[in-house]
């Protein structure tokens, strides 16, 4: 173990240091005069952060309706009419290994599938808890079992989304304790019969903010049966980044760029994840043309990794189970960028280095990686305002000697100067003809 790592480990165990977001450990004090430490992440959380980028899959009976996942919201689509559509959900083109292969080529390392959405239909065998599942009606198959097998075949970590807000079960509104019993037994089934899972992504507690959801019991089931699973419980669009139950391992930023976590003095190291959709809702509809481009994907991923958060990017398969062509192509096109910058994307940690505009830096071991936005192809071809184009970019907070700065994409060495204290000025060169990386990354040694 290198001396610096041994020193950090010793300081961690003695409780005498805060590992700051820059390059050097610094000591902090709380209001009582004690050390304010950043807790060491538990192994499952550290592993989750290095997964970095995942595919969210919203797929189920709602995919038939052309109205997004909220088609069956009470008062919108009558339950009996909705149930009559279920036999049409055959999943005849469902090929989860092909899904996982697309994720892998896109640079994604995990996939999160809607095992049960708010419409209450389960894609797995509920083993007697209900007959409203994919084994007993519709496909006649256990789609979650196929999903986890397909993920594992391609080296992708399987995660399962599971609603806590259920429009199908009458007990949700009539006997909440009975509903929670059903919910908890459902999670016990998933923990028991599908092998090792990467984690659980819960969604719906925001529907009854004042209710007792008995989270202690729910999470104890997971800790007992799937001790290495990451637990996430979505706090919704109105409470991005909100901390919840102590067993939750990751906070959520639904459709909003994450902010940096303040972990000093925290009881537990908690990760962060942004969930975003390729279109303007969760699922697939015939009349939505508002889609992210590869450029937008790259920019969202960078916005997440700059503050140490994961990106979970959603796709809505067709009712038959095929990944749509445009989204698949956009994922894989952006995946070429991810592949070129794999080390800082997966292993980079946030730093205290501050760049102009959206520019930032991450650290891998003793190296910095500068993420530079808004570079122009060649001088004089565009009129822009703000931080853009080529020329000097000043980064503050660089607290160590610098030997070299070079672009990762072509190895070009960049001129740089050190200013007073911790300032580093890098002379950004324009893109060569036919090149635009959207966000260009320079390695600093």
Q: Which of 39, 16, 146, 28 lies closest to 91 in space, CA to CA? A: 146
What does the pLDDT average to over 199-213? 96
pTM: 0.89
**Which two structure tokens, joined as six digits, stand for 46?**
């550290």
**DSSP states along 153-213:** HTTPEEEEEEES--SS-THHHH-HHHHHHHHHHHHHHHHHHS---SEEEEE-GGGGTTS--
Which is it for strands 424-428 and 439-444: parallel, antiparallel or unpaired? unpaired
Contact residues for 357 (Cβ-Cβ < 8 A; gap 6+)? 373, 374, 386, 387, 388
More confident residue, 391 or 444: 444
pLDDT tens digit string along 143-165? 999 999 999 999 999 999 999 99
User: CA 387 to CA 358: how far, in whole Å?
Assistant: 9
Of the candidate ranges 6-15, 67-76, 273-282, the one whose mean pLDDT is the lowest: 6-15
Q: Which of 14, 34, 13, 38 lies closest to 25 in space, CA to CA? A: 38
The backbone region for 287, taken as left when phi is positive above 0, alpha when psi lies in -120 to 50, beta otherwise, is: alpha
User: CA 284 to CA 62: how far, in whole Å?
Assistant: 9
Average pLDDT, the chain: 89
What does the pLDDT average to over 165-188? 97
**Which two structure tokens, joined as six digits, stand for 121?**
């239909």
Q: What backbone phi and psi angles, to 5 degrees, belong to 219? A: -75, -25
| DSSP conformational letter for 310 | E
Say what angle helices 143-153 and 96-105 make with each other, to 10 degrees.
40
> Which domains does the chain carry?
3-37 (no CATH), 44-346 (3.20.20.80), 349-444 (2.60.40.1180)
pLDDT tens digit string along 116-142? 999 999 999 999 999 999 999 999 999
Percentage of the chain modeled with pLDDT above 70: 89
pLDDT tens digit string along 302-339? 999 999 999 999 999 999 999 999 999 999 999 999 99
- Label residue 386 by pLDDT band (50, 70, 90): very low
pLDDT tens digit string along 334-372? 999 999 999 999 999 999 999 999 999 999 999 999 999
Which residues in 297-414 belong to E strands, given as ranges?
310-315, 349-354, 360-364, 367-373, 391-395, 405-407
């Amino acid at each position: 173990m290198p001396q610096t790592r041994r020193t950090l480990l010793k300081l961690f165990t003695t409780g005498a240091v805060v590992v700051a977001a820059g390059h050097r450990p610094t000591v902090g004090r709380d209001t009582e005069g004690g050390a304010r430490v950043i807790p060491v992440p538990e192994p499952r959380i550290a592993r989750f952060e290095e997964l970095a980028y995942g595919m969210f899959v919203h797929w189920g009976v709602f995919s038939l309706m052309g109205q997004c996942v909220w088609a069956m919201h009470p008062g919108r689509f009558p339950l009996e009419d909705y149930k009559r559509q279920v036999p049409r959900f055959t999943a005849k083109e469902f090929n989860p290994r092909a899904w996982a292969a697309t994720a892998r080529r896109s640079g994604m390392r995990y996939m999160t599938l809607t095992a049960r959405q708010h419409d209450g239909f389960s894609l797995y065998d509920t083993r007697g808890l209900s007959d409203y599942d994919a084994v007993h009606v519709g496909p006649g198959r256990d789609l979650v079992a196929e999903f986890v097998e397909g993920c594992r075949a391609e080296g992708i970590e399987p995660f399962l989304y599971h609603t806590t807000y259920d429009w199908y079960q009458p007990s949700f509104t009539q006997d909440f304790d009975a509903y929670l019993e059903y919910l908890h037994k459902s999670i016990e089934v998933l923990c028991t019969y599908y092998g090792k899972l990467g984690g659980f992504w819960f969604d719906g507690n925001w529907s009854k903010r004042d209710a007792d959801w008995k989270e202690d019991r729910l999470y104890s089931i997971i800790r007992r049966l799937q001790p290495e699973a990451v637990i996430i419980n979505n706090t919704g669009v109105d409470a991005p980044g909100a901390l919840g139950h102590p067993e939750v391992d990751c906070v959520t930023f639904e459709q909003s760029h994450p902010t940096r976590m303040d972990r000093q003095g925290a009881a537990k190291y908690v990760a962060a994840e942004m969930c975003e959709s390729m279109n303007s809702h969760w699922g697939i509809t015939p009349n939505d043309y508002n889609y992210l481009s590869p450029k937008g994907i790259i920019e969202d991923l960078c916005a997440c990794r700059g503050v140490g958060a994961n990106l979970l990017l959603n796709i809505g398969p067709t009712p038959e189970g095929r990944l749509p062509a445009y989204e698949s192509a956009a994922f894989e096109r952006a995946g070429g960028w991810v592949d070129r910058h794999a080390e800082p994307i997966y292993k980079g940690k946030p730093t205290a280095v501050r760049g102009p505009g959206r520019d930032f830096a991450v650290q891998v071991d003793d190296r910095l990686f500068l993420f530079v936005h808004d570079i122009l192809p060649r001088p004089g071809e565009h009129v822009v305002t703000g931080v853009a184009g080529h020329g000097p970019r000043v980064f503050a907070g660089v607290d160590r000697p610098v030997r070299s700065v070079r672009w990762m994409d072509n190895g070009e060495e960049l001129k740089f100067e050190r200013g007073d204290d911790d300032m580093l000025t890098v002379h950004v060169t324009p893109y060569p003809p036919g090149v635009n990386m959207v966000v260009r990354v320079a390695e600093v040694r």
